[in-house]
Structure 1
Amino acid sequence: MHKLSLALLSILPVGVLGGNILSTSGFSSCMNNATVQVQNLDVSYDRTTRILTFNVAGRSDIVQNVTATLLVSAYGKQVYTREFNPCDTGMAEMCPVPASSFASVGSQTIPEEDASQIPAIAFSIPDLDGLVKMELKGSNGEDVACVQSTVGNGQTLIIPAISYAALGIAAVALLLSGLAGLAAGGHPGASTPSPTFGEVIGWFQGLAMNGMLSVQYPQVYQSFTSNFAFSTGLVPWGQLQTSIDSFRAKTGGNLTNDSYQYLSNNATLVYTDGTTNVTSRMMRRAFHSALLWARDGTSVTVNGTTANIGGGSGSASAPSSAHNSRTNHYVSGIQAYSEQLTIPQANTFLTVLLVWAILCAAIIIFILLIKVILELWSMFGKIPKSMESWRERYWWRLAKALTNLVLFLYGTWTLYCIYQFTNGDSWAAKVLAGVTLGSFTALLAFFTWRIWIKAHSYTRLDGDAGRLYDDKETWLKYNNFYENYKKGYWWLFVPAIVYMFAKGCVIAGANGHGLVQTAGQLIVEALMLGLLLWTRPFQRKSGVWINIFIQVVRVISVVCILTFVEELGINQTTKTVTGLVLVVVQCVLTAVLAVLLAVNALINCIRENPHRRARKAQEKMKLERDLDDLTPLDARNSLLMEPMAQRDRKGRYDAVPPRDQSPAMGSQHSFSRPSRFAREGDGDYLVSSAASMGRRDERSVSRSPDRQPTLPRVGFGSAM
Structure 2
Amino acid sequence: MRFSVLKPLVFLTALAVGTAAEPMLTSSSLNTCQEDSSFTASLFKVVFTPNNNSASVDIVATSSVEGKVVFDVAISAYGYQIVRRTVDPCDAGLAGLCPMTAGKIPLNFNLPVGADAITQIPGIAYTFPDLDATVRVFLNMTETGKSVACVEADISNGKTVDLVGVKWVLAIIAGLALVSSAVINGLGHSNAAAHVASGALSLFGFFQAQAMLGLTAVHLPPVVQSWTQDFQWSMGIINIDFMQTIFTWYQRATGGTPSTIFDSLTTVSVQVEKRSLADASMNLFRRTAAMMPKASASLMRRANVQTGSGSFIVYGIQRVAFKAGIETTNLFMTGLTFFCLFVIFTIMGVTAFKGWCELAAKQKWIKNDTFLEFRNGWLTVLKGILFRMTLIGYPQMTILCLWEFTQIDSPAEVVLAVFFFFGMTATLAWAASKVIRIARRSVAMHRNPAYILFSDPQALNKWGFLYIQFRASAYYFIIPVLGYTLIKSMFIAFAQKSGTAQAVGFLLIEAGALIGASVLRPWMDKSTNSFNIAICAINFINAIFLLIFSDVFNQPALVNGVIGLILFFLNAIFALVLLLMVIATTVVVFVRKNPDTRYQFMADDRASFMKSQSQLTGTTELDALAATARGDKSGYKAGLDLDDDNESISSDSMRRRTDPNMAALQTAHTGPREPSRSPVDPSVPLFPANGQRGPLAAPGSMNRAPSPYGGSNASVFRQQNNASPSGYRNQNNASPWQRGAGYEH
Structure-2-length-normalised TM-score: 0.69
Provide the rounded CA distance (Å) in 2 between the counterparts of 1:539 and 1:344.
43
Partner of 2:481: 496
Indicate if the aligned counterparts of 1:68 and 1:135 stay in contact, CA closer than 8 A: yes
Partner of 2:154: 150
Q: Structure 2 stretches of 5 or more lacking a match?
A: 1-16, 279-307, 598-606, 625-633, 635-745
Partner of 2:27: 24
Quote how far apart the aligned CAs of 1:339 are. 2.1
Q: 1:34 to 1:588 in 2, by over 3 A?
A: closer
Q: 1:125 to 1:17 in 2, by over 3 A?
A: farther
Partner of 2:46: 43
Indicate if the aligned counterparts of 1:183 and 1:609 stay in contact, CA closer than 8 A: no
Quote how far apart the aligned CAs of 1:328 are. 1.9
Cα deviation, 1:314-367, whole Å, max 9, x if unaligned, reads: xxxxxxxxxxx9952112222222222122333222211111111122112212
Partner of 1:130: 133
Match for 1:202 among 197, 201, 205?
205
Q: 1:190 to 1:353 in 2, by over 3 A?
A: closer
Quote how far apart the aligned CAs of 1:109 are. 4.5
Partner of 1:646: none
Partner of 2:677: none
Q: Does 1:373 align with 2:356?
A: yes
Quote how far apart the aligned CAs of 1:592 are. 0.9
Partner of 2:121: 118
Quote how far apart the aligned CAs of 1:480 are. 1.3
Indicate if the aligned counterparts of 1:22 and 1:151 stay in contact, CA closer than 8 A: yes
Quote how far apart the aligned CAs of 1:469 are. 1.5
Match for 2:217 among 208, 214, 219?
214
Provide the rounded CA distance (Å) in 1 between the counterparts of 2:585 and 2:83.
54
Q: 1:471 to 1:139 in 2, by over 3 A?
A: closer
Quote how far apart the aligned CAs of 1:404 are. 0.8
Cα deviation, 1:641-690, whole Å, max 9, x if unaligned, reads: xxxxxxxxxxxxxxxxxxxxxxxxxxxxxxxxxxxxxxxxxxxxxxxxxx
Q: How does 1:62-101 map to 2 (within 5 A)?
A: 64-92=67-95, 95-97=98-100, 101=104
Q: 1:342 to 1:117 in 2, by over 3 A?
A: same
Q: 1:188 to 1:56 in 2, by over 3 A?
A: closer
Indicate if the aligned counterparts of 2:42 and 2:61 stay in contact, CA closer than 8 A: yes
Partner of 1:309: none
Quote how far apart the aligned CAs of 1:582 are. 1.0
Provide the rounded CA distance (Å) in 2 between the counterparts of 1:375 and 1:236.
38
Q: 1:418 to 1:363 in 2, by over 3 A?
A: same
Quote how far apart the aligned CAs of 1:586 are. 0.9
Amino acid at match of 2:313: Y
RMSD: 3.3
What percentage of residue pairs aligned between the two structures are identical?
A: 24
Amino acid at match of 1:367: V
Q: 1:534 to 1:85 in 2, by over 3 A?
A: closer
Indicate if the aligned counterparts of 2:60 and 2:107 stay in contact, CA closer than 8 A: yes
- Aligned partner of residue 270 in structure 2, secondary structure: strand
Partner of 1:463: 447
Quote how far apart the aligned CAs of 1:136 are. 3.8
Amino acid at match of 2:173: I
Amino acid at match of 2:131: L
Partner of 1:397: 381
Q: Does 1:444 align with 2:439?
A: no
Q: Does 1:358 align with 2:341?
A: yes
Q: How does 1:257-268 map to 2 (within 5 A)?
A: 257=259, 261-262=263-264, 266-268=268-270
Amino acid at match of 1:345: T
Provide the rounded CA distance (Å) in 2 between the counterparts of 1:601 and 1:527.
31
Quote how far apart the aligned CAs of 1:181 are. 1.6
Match for 1:527 among 512, 526, 532?
512
Match for 2:555 among 559, 570, 592?
570
Quote how far apart the aligned CAs of 1:420 are. 1.0
Q: How does 1:313-712 map to 2 (within 5 A)?
A: 327-377=310-360, 379-381=362-364, 384-467=368-451, 468-611=453-596, 615=613, 618-622=616-620
Provide the rounded CA distance (Å) in 2 between the counterparts of 1:182 and 1:625.
21
Quote how far apart the aligned CAs of 1:114 are. 4.0
Indicate if the aligned counterparts of 2:272 and 2:313 stay in contact, CA closer than 8 A: yes
Q: Structure 1 stretches of 5 or more lacking a match?
A: 1-13, 277-324, 627-635, 637-720
Bigger shift: 160-169 or 325-334?
325-334
Provide the rounded CA distance (Å) in 1 between the counterparts of 2:134 and 2:413.
39
- Aligned partner of residue 174 in structure 1, secondary structure: helix
Quote how far apart the aligned CAs of 1:37 are. 4.9
Amino acid at match of 2:333: L
Indicate if the aligned counterparts of 2:71 and 2:89 stay in contact, CA closer than 8 A: yes
Larger C-alpha radius of gyration, 1 or 2?
1
Provide the rounded CA distance (Å) in 1 between the counterparts of 2:211 and 2:226.
10
Cα deviation, 1:491-544, whole Å, max 9, x if unaligned, reads: 222222222122212222222222221222222222222222222222233212
Partner of 1:668: none
Q: 1:135 to 1:531 in 2, by over 3 A?
A: closer
Quote how far apart the aligned CAs of 1:125 are. 2.5
Indicate if the aligned counterparts of 2:177 and 2:197 stay in contact, CA closer than 8 A: no
Q: 1:389 to 1:470 in 2, by over 3 A?
A: closer
Provide the rounded CA distance (Å) in 1 between the counterparts of 2:193 and 2:108.
70
Quote how far apart the aligned CAs of 1:118 are. 2.9
Provide the rounded CA distance (Å) in 2 between the counterparts of 1:58 and 1:442.
53
Structure-1-length-normalised TM-score: 0.71
Amino acid at match of 1:184: G
- Aligned partner of residue 48 in structure 2, secondary structure: strand
Q: 1:268 to 1:336 in 2, by over 3 A?
A: same
Q: How does 1:288-327 map to 2 (within 5 A)?
A: 327=310
Provide the rounded CA distance (Å) in 2 between the counterparts of 1:103 and 1:254.
31
Provide the rounded CA distance (Å) in 2 between the counterparts of 1:74 and 1:564.
16
Q: How does 1:240-255 map to 2 (within 5 A)?
A: 240-255=243-258
Quote how far apart the aligned CAs of 1:378 are. 5.2
Q: 1:545 to 1:88 in 2, by over 3 A?
A: same
Amino acid at match of 1:75: Y
Provide the rounded CA distance (Å) in 2 between the counterparts of 1:481 and 1:236.
31
Cα deviation, 1:603-647, whole Å, max 9, x if unaligned, reads: 224433255997466453259988xxxxxxxxx9xxxxxxxxxxx
Quote how far apart the aligned CAs of 1:546 are. 0.8
Amino acid at match of 2:339: W
Cα deviation, 1:143-196, whole Å, max 9, x if unaligned, reads: 5544321111121222112212211221232233223322336x5997233762
Provide the rounded CA distance (Å) in 1 between the counterparts of 2:134 and 2:614.
69
Indicate if the aligned counterparts of 1:272 and 1:331 stay in contact, CA closer than 8 A: no
Bigger shift: 467-476 or 569-578?
467-476
Q: Does 1:163 align with 2:148?
A: no
Amino acid at match of 1:445: A
Indicate if the aligned counterparts of 1:27 and 1:147 stay in contact, CA closer than 8 A: yes
Indicate if the aligned counterparts of 1:64 and 1:138 stay in contact, CA closer than 8 A: yes
Provide the rounded CA distance (Å) in 2 between the counterparts of 1:80 and 1:465.
67
Amino acid at match of 1:270: V
Partner of 1:180: 184
Indicate if the aligned counterparts of 1:19 and 1:155 stay in contact, CA closer than 8 A: no
Quote how far apart the aligned CAs of 1:31 are. 4.6
Cα deviation, 1:15-69, whole Å, max 9, x if unaligned, reads: 9799632222211234566665544333343344544443444355687554444
Bigger shift: 210-219 or 228-237?
210-219
